[in-house]
Structure 1
Amino acid sequence: MHGQASSKTDSLSGFLLRQIGLDGRQVRKNKRNETVPLSFRNLCFLCIIDETKMQSATPPALSGQYTTTTAEISTLKLLLQGEDDSAIAQDAGAAERRKIGRGKAEVLDVVIRDLRESLTASDTPLELNERLSRLDNSIQDHTSEIDSILEGRAGVATEHASATRTYSSYQSRLEEVHELIARFSLLRAKYDSDLERLEMVREAGSLLGFFRPGVCVFCGAQVEHQAADMHSAEEITAFGNSVLAEIQKTNTLREDLLITLSDLRAQEERLQSGILRSTNAIQDLRQRINAFDEDLQPQRVAIQELMSVRSDIEGKLATHAQIEKLEALQAAVQPEGPENPPTSSSVNDKVLVELAGAIKEVLHQWSVPIADSVTYDKNSNDLIVGDQARGSRGKGVRSILHAAFTLGLAQYCFDRDLEHPGFIVLDSPLITYREPEPGAGAGPTDEEFASVSDAFYRYLDFQFDGQCIVVENTDPPPNLSEEAKLIHFTKRLDHGRYGFFPFPV
């Protein structure tokens, strides 16, 4: 899928490039300065090195294909300098570009002139900033005053709410007391009526039965059934005693009721007095709240006016900033002299020196004995190590140098926060190092090879900032950290992992 990344941003290549921050970049593909979108395929040969490429005499930065050399050098420049080739001029002629530039400059000039006319002579950035500073101080003073007034008003409002609640409780209780007084007054009137009736009965006594004929008041006998000696004097006396007892009972209840009424009327007076005090307190607190509101109103008006002036000043400062940006844009589009030659896609010489220094440091960490000096030849795009080109050395040294170039390039990008895939894959960078150089006699001794091999793995484990996958036929040293993941391919189905690819079932 990543072969189609030039035309589809939703491809695998586009996804990977977005993850490393290189999506949308352009690389030059030929000497006519034609550009194509960067594909992840352009980066693969700089971070995924198979055994054949590792040992090849082709320079590490190139794939060996003549038609892709320009794009490969542009990709290397993109990694080393963070610059793509999207700014390279292609087809537009100088006259056409100058014409377009003049048109853009004229349009910008009209916009700038209109913006300047909206400003007065005194509306300089310095004067506006000084006015804004003074205005901010005034706004801060008014804000502090408003906060103080609001704080005092909040305290009085709390007291007002408390007084209102007290008034409501007094009023509610007074209504209850009034209702009880009304009911108990009716009960007292009933007691008074009962006492009057009983007193009349007591005074009348037995006389009621002697003055006129009728039903007997003692036994209820009709006239025709009555006799003069039917009731004795004791019966008349018992009747009088019962009336007297009822009078005493009613008097006792009436006295209790009078005490209760007296207590209720005392409560009534206290509640009316409390209501009067609460009413006065509420009126006083309302006056104080109104006073706070009167003090607050001019402060609010003043701060609204200040905020309006502040908004006007900020608008004028924004106009100045916009004029400054438009003038910079006008200077950028204004045609200046003849057309500049196309931008070169070659790598900066200073950058190549720094890259060679990074590669030399890697070789030094590995204790490779040939790394007295390391340079990058811009013409051949190859490494010159110890005054000898990498391509002219044996495949063992070529493998070591290719690995050093790949790791040095990656670490160079990491140290400078430049975009890089973040990982590398090396296939057999060490195994061929045992073979002797052409015409140089025997190869490295076992001790020399072990020293380079151990240093190689320790560098990857403790110093390299990216992720590195190494496929090798030699065993790594035993003293690596726990972060190093070692997988041994056993070529056995019953033990460990069979190989890099699953065993076919």
Structure 2
Amino acid sequence: MTRHGFMITRLALTGPTVEAAELRFRAGLNVITGPSDTGKTFAFECIDFMLGASRSPKTIPEADGYDSVCLDIRDRQTNEEISLTRSLKGGSFKLDIGGKKKILGDKYKAENEDTASQFLLKLSNLQNKMIRKNASGQTRAFSFRHMAHLSVISEEEVIKNRSPILSGQYVKATEEKSAYSLLLSGSDDSSIVEVPDPREIKGHFEAKEEVLVGVIASTKSKIEEISIDVDLPTLNKQLGRLEHSIHECEASLNERMESAAPFEEIRHTVWGKLNKIESRLGVLSELQSRFFLLYDQYQSDILRLQAIAESGARLGEMSLDRCPVCGALPEDQDKDHQECQIEPLDVARSCISEISKIKGLISDLELTQDDVKIEIEKLSSSRSQCRDELTRVTQILEDYHSPRISDAINNLKMHQEQKEHLLKAISLYEQLNELEELLEDLQKETTKQKQATKPTFAGLRDHHLEAFAKAVQGRLEAWKFPNLDRVTFDKQNWDIVISGRNRSSHGKGVRAVTHAAFTLSLLRYCLDSDLPHSGVVVIDSPLVVYRQPDAGEEGFSSDVKLAFYYDLSQSYQDAQVIVIENDAPPDDLDTANAVNVIRFTGTNQGRRGFIPVPSQSDKVTSQ
């Protein structure tokens, strides 16, 4: 069996002042895993860029200082180590094979062998192949980018609701189908002879007709999707009646809102009044608390003064044998000391006078407390009245006005949605009429050309498609895909049908998994059939269903995820599969060295991401 293709061994970013960022790969399954913003998608874009994509990887802050990307690959047939280097800004490639260097152009030209596309095609044994580009039989040279979307799948493409074969660009559909046919059958379209004059003119008109028929079919399909089965005049009449109904709904809504407005105004006024009352009651309650404290303080002062007064009176009744100042006996006492002494009775009289003043203050305080109490009672009564009024008005609004307004809004919304639906249908019908008129005019112009024999081209034979469908079915069975019955190939949509349902009609999670099955089965089919292929598949986020399934989409059991990794680790040891996912594969596969796992942690523990974080010393040096 011939060994076709190549294997990626190393991806590196380099720059004159920064440490190289490297990822190393091996044969079989490789998994780049880690949280968001660690450079996984950037690494994917670098691989695609080095396989000939014209668009440079998206600029990220971590890549500052890097100016080139290097992709090391190994020729599977000769085991030669090959290095390709390209500026991150784009342009040509530098090729290095064992020290022999050459410049490869980035633009594919069939007559120029020194291009990156020609070089990769030679490694894949797909050089000098031709594919059909349109219905008239025109052909063009097959480039590596014609097959890139069948082996390098981004996280956006893996969930698209179209065939993995097609890019969605109508003008490229024939080329893309021919490229798939080349890979699946091994036969190109070089034997097709371009239609000569006058058939060339016919082909020109047929190409126009093909576009018109395709657009007309698409328009009819859209009309069927919106479930409209009446003609355009009827739709216009319905639109007129609906606009009149919308006007009535708007008038009804305005009337109901105006009816509710006085009650809303009352509620607003009462609510404001209630807030003021609550605020004043809060102030009065605080004053009342402070008055209680002041009253207690006055009572305490009276008791203290009464005690002093009583003590003074008692002391005044007593005779002193000794001097209260120096303690001397009467015969030895100093007259000056007697003059300095304050009579206890004077102290008692002062205390009684002070008590009288405090009682006056207490009397004033009690009057004030009475006023506050009366005001609190009045405000409390007003508050109760406001609350009752607020409850009454709110009840009226909620029980009567709000339901009526809500019904009017819902009714208006329903009519507006119906109008939008009708406008869409009318637009589609008008577009369909214009297209059919254009098609009719075109058919009149090409009446003579239609009498000539239209060239036919043999497409993929049924046994190729059946064998490929069986390969996909086997892949899904190995992954324990739920409720799997039979897989077939739909020639109309150029996509697989799983258990009687078109693959593209599933939610994005199922589309991602089955897109991966389609792409990996094509690789396995080519290897088993000894057909040319690059031998490499790179898929970003094939297990997206585990993180964010569509609304209403049932998630798969964890068995599917485990079976996915176990199957890839065992079934692609003679090829190379690179999977980029947030979640890591089972630990036992990593432990058994069955998978090359590249873990990004997003932290300082382990490898942070694709691009190393510079140390502080490096930052200082660069500055």
Q: Normalization by structure 2: what TM-score?
A: 0.39
Higher relative contact order (CA 8 A, sep 6+): 2
- Which of the pair is proportionally richer in helix? 1
- Which of the pair is proportionally richer in strand? 2
Q: Normalization by structure 1: what TM-score?
A: 0.48
